[in-house]
Amino acid sequence: MRDAQRDYVLRTVEERGIRLVRLWFTDVLGNLKSFAISPAEMENALNDGMSFDGSSIDGYGRVQEADVLALPDPNTFEVLPWVDSKSAEARVFCDIAQLDGTPFDGDPRQVLRRNLDAARRQGFVFYVAPDIEYFYFAPGASDGRPVPLDHGGFFDLTTTDITSALRKETIRTLETMSIPVEYSFHEDSPSQHEIDLRHTDALTMADSVMTFRFVVKEIAAMRNVHATFMPKPLESVQGSGMHLHLSLFKDDVNAFHSEDDPYNLSDTAKSFMAGLLRHAGEIAAVTNQTVNSYKRLVPGFEAPVHVSWARNNRSGLIRVPVPKRGNELATRIELRSPDPACNPYLAFSVILAAGLRGVEQGYELPMESDANLFEMGDAALTKLGIEQLPQSLNDALKMMESSSLVAEALGEHIFEWFLRNKRAEWRRYKTHVSQFEIDTYLRSL
């Protein structure tokens, strides 16, 4: 099978006159990295990998040996649709290995592979479908503040035309890159959009999220628009989340589905949810990895704040969507905390690990919280045993630090590096004197 795939890629490079093949991989923070090789090098790359100096990549640095190998995954080979066919280019995602061929533990894609393998040993395939929100802003205002397109006035067409044209073009491009779109719409906030992707296995989806962010930004940039996945770019309107619809399949059967349950949730689904709830605080630093992420997770903006679940309550951490009647394949749960600035490989890894821990150890699912938790006082919440998600990156890092579950899921290398890097980010933020402080204190104190 691998030989046939290799052959397929090499023939396509030749037949389509590909001039450049871009090798894509991801750093620990979730930034897409790339280097290009000529078609002549492609056969070598597929057989033996391409070595490069990893020390310049965030989270790849090691003490002894800087060089690592990029091994193209031939099944992810795609011709890039936005490049002129005269100078056709293609991309392929890579796994990163050490020079002796063993998986490099600083590579997020290898981390997800390892976690998916663990699930597979229990017979589970992990499916993910994200709803991704983002903003379009007009190109740089002088003070660096984001200017929503709706107030931008840069264009002859109305902004509705511009943004829906952008979104249409983006979806067309995604579809030609094997990323099917389920729905898309203009969100409530000015210039905010949402695109929902159709479920795939988690590895394919993590690749798709990387491609998605790149395509959205690229297509916008071609029209001199800035697209951002920053979780909370505007203070007064809701931020951008990446709700994840999750399910586990065992062979061809949805392991989350049961006919006997009023919500059609199987015991597996319930203990998976219980795992997510119990470990929600520990994995938050990975699913919400920026200082800014925690400004989205506040009451009043449809973002979750409390560690709770409900059938149809958007203030909870987990929602159980009502599937179409009789469609047992569609039984799933929706995790509402992650934001689109996360590293999808690492986020899917810790989410799966938390859920599977619940399944392995048979965690009991707490009671549903269908009341609006935002209207309840802290005392009432404590009485119900409902905790809050971490309030800041600092809180989240503290919880992550003491989590053996997250350390195991990420592996020591990434666990350590991530904590070090994010603590530094927090320190930079903590020492920053903000406009808020100037406005509030400078005159009055």
Partner 1 sequence: MTSAGMLAVYPDTPSVELARTLDLSGYSWKGVATPEVMNRLQPSDGWMGAIVSCDDDPDGGWAMCRALRRLDQPVRRILVMITGAQIGDLEIRENLFDDFLLTPFHPRELEARLRHMFYNELTAPSSSVVEHAGLRLNLETYQATFGGRPLDLTYMEYELLKYFVQNPGRAFSREVLLSEVWGYEYFGGARTVDVHVRRLRAKLGEEHAHLIETVRSVGYRFGASKWSG
Binding site for partner 1 (CB under 8 A): 1, 4-5, 7-9, 11-12, 14-16, 74-79, 81, 120, 125, 127, 175-176, 178, 180, 198-201, 204, 249-252, 329
Closer to partner 1 by CB, 10 or 237: give it.
Answer: 10
| DSSP secondary structure letter of residue 149 | G
CB of 1 to partner 1, least distance (A): 6
Dihedral pair phi/psi, residue 332, rounded to 5°:
-160, 170
Closer to partner 1 by CB, 125 or 376: give it.
Answer: 125
Closer to partner 1 by CB, 20 or 125: give it.
Answer: 125
- How many angstroms separate the CA atoms of 418 and 343, rounded? 11
CB of 77 to partner 1, least distance (A): 7
Q: Tell me which residue has tokens 């040993």.
A: 121
Closer to partner 1 by CB, 178 or 392: give it.
Answer: 178
Helical spans, DSSP H, in 183-331: 202-222, 267-278, 280-287, 293-296
CB of 194 to partner 1, least distance (A): 19
CB of 170 to partner 1, least distance (A): 14
Which tokens go with 324? 């179409």
| Residues contacting residue 195 through CB under 8 Å, at least 6 positions apart | 131, 132, 167, 170, 171, 174, 181, 183, 184, 212, 216
CB of 13 to partner 1, least distance (A): 11
At 125 the three-state DSSP class reads strand
Dihedral pair phi/psi, residue 128, rounded to 5°:
-135, 135
Closer to partner 1 by CB, 203 or 335: give it.
Answer: 203
Closer to partner 1 by CB, 137 or 345: give it.
Answer: 345
Closer to partner 1 by CB, 234 or 329: give it.
Answer: 329
CB of 11 to partner 1, least distance (A): 5
CB of 334 to partner 1, least distance (A): 18
Nearest to 91 by CA among 15, 17, 24: 24
Q: Which residues of 57-68 are buried (b: 16+ CB within 10 A; e: fewer)?
A: bbbbeeeeeeeb
Beta bridge partners of 128: 200, 246
What type of residue is 424?
A: A
